[in-house]
């Protein structure tokens, strides 16, 4: 078995119970279980053949995420090449996004909005203290 084939098999074996939970600008996002970390994770799967023009943006996203250590920013656990697809493994947020909350039910109350904005501002404050700027902030 070649090195790339054995790495692909190891990646496939490490993550189980992969369920599609969303589609992003770069690829699909799955919820899975990371057997090494013993926790649920989000796996963004990007087809590198389709994303040739976006590879630099993807590299920047990985670079920023890998350097962040803040409770208000999604944890990054690693990236893995699986055939022609790049798997970016991140913290799984069980509650979903703010957009999911808005679509799912009644409008948010003022206290919930204040809590979301407070946490968002903490994240932006952290990024700025690290000399980073982010143009694609998601709730």
What is the mean predicted confidence (pLDDT) over 107-132?
A: 93
Are residues 50 and 72 part of one domain? yes
Query: How many separate domains does the chain show?
Result: 2
pLDDT score recorded for residue 122: 95
Quick one: 42 and 13 in the same domain?
Answer: yes
Same domain, 64 and 103: no
Q: What is the pLDDT of residue 4?
A: 62
d(CA 135, CA 65): 13
| Per-residue pLDDT tens over the stretch 44-59 | 999 988 877 778 888 8
Catalytic status, residue 34: no
132 annotated to a ligand binding site: no
The catalytic residue among 3, 53, 109, 136 is 136
Give the global pTM: 0.82
Domain region containing 59: 1-93
57-61, 87-91, 101-105, range with greatest mean pLDDT = 87-91
The tens digit of pLDDT for each residue in 6-50 reads 666 667 788 888 899 988 777 899 999 999 999 999 999 999 888
């Amino acid at each position: 078995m070649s090195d790339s084939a054995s790495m692909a098999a190891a990646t496939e074996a490490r993550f189980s119970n992969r369920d599609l939970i969303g589609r992003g600008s770069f690829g699909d996002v799955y919820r899975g279980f990371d057997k090494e970390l013993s926790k649920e994770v989000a796996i963004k799967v990007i087809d590198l053949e389709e994303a040739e023009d976006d590879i630099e943006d993807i590299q920047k996203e990985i670079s920023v995420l890998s350097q962040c250590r803040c409770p208000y920013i999604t944890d990054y656990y690693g990236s893995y090449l699986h055939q022609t697809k790049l798997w970016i493994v991140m913290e799984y947020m069980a509650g979903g996004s703010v957009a999911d909350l808005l679509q799912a039910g009644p409008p948010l109350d003022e206290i919930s909005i204040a809590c979301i904005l407070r946490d968002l501002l903490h994240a932006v404050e952290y990024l700025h203290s690290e000399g980073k700027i982010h143009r694609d902030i998601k709730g």
